Structure 1
Amino acid sequence: MKQELFEEIVNKSFNSPYHKLLKLELVELGKGMAVVEITVDESILNALGIAHGGATASLCDTAMGVAVRTVGALPTTVEMKVNYLAPGPIKERLRAVGKVIKEGKTIIVAEGEVYCKDRLIVKSLGTYFDLKK
């Protein structure tokens, strides 16, 4: 990945008000992949006292979208499927890994996985449109 794109992702693309609201942290970047983390605190709990599905879906979408950005696309989400496999407990750190699995001319497909420690708790598949095209 070019240094210019790396800096743009870290300083601009990832630094949105929504990412700040959820306290998402970008922890790793590579061509076609990104790792984003969040700590489950009271601000993202549902009524059952676990991470709200919307927060974990946002975590997945962000990891996948940033992974798509690393290949030079300017992504917007077209479609996303999320399978919730286990809850995200309070005070735990969740780690989302996004990977590009298919680059087309205008459509990019990515997969996302969210882990709590070593346990897979969310599996996601996303389709992104490249706004540059």
Structure 2
Amino acid sequence: MTVLNKGIKQELYKEIINDFQNSPLVKLLGFNMLEIGNGIVVIEFQPRKEVLNTLGILHGGVSATLCDTAMGFSVKSLGKISTTVEMKVNYLYPINLGERVRACGKVIKVGENICVAEGEIINEINKVAVKSLGTYFILKKYGN
């Protein structure tokens, strides 16, 4: 699957794709990156039975992981290597088995040492199923 490059440098684009595709957790859960822009990332996901909770809907931890991944890679799209400091998640609608969803991560504030990003998981009927906000500590910039 080709990931749409929406305006970042080709070298950074290739590094992000490589990091994403080689992440053990991304592989395990089956996340697919659809596009990368300047401070924006979109990831697609379709839940399998193994990631459902006892109610038969997507487990909140997996939803949080999807949001964190989208937000973290949105920070990475700015050429920054970061780690999550704090994250808040609101679960608005359940996500069902096999429902194809999109997670959108977007950086909303860039500082010297901290970035803040927001994440949304959009369900098949275009409603925001999950909304998140994350704070990321900048470990270093690419090339440093």
TM-score by length of 1: 0.97
- What's 2:90 paired with? 83
User: What's the CA shift for 1:23?
Assistant: 0.6
User: Does the Cα contact within 8 Å between 1:108 and 1:127 map onto a contact in 2?
Assistant: yes
User: Does the Cα contact within 8 Å between 1:95 and 1:116 map onto a contact in 2?
Assistant: yes
Q: What are the residue-to-residue correspondences of 1:30-49 with 2, within 5 Å?
A: 30-49=37-56
Alpha-carbon spacing, 1:108–1:27, altered in 2? closer, same or farther (3 Å) = same
Q: Does 1:122 align with 2:135?
A: no
- What's 2:3 paired with? none
Unaligned runs of 5+ in 2: 1-7
SS at 1:67 equivalent = helix
RMSD of aligned alpha carbons = 1.0
Equivalent of residue 94 in structure 1, options 97, 101, 105: 101
Matches of 2:72 and 2:19, distance apart in 1: 14
1:2-39 deviations in whole A, cap 9, x for unaligned? Answer: 11110000012452001111111111100100001110
User: Does the Cα contact within 8 Å between 1:14 and 1:66 map onto a contact in 2?
Assistant: no
1:31-80 deviations in whole A, cap 9, x for unaligned? Answer: 10000111011021011100000111000000000000000110100000
Aligned residues with identical type, % of pairs: 56
User: What's the CA shift for 1:91?
Assistant: 1.1
Alpha-carbon spacing, 1:65–1:131, altered in 2? closer, same or farther (3 Å) = same
Off by >3 Å, runs of 4+ in structure 1:
none
TM-score by length of 2: 0.89
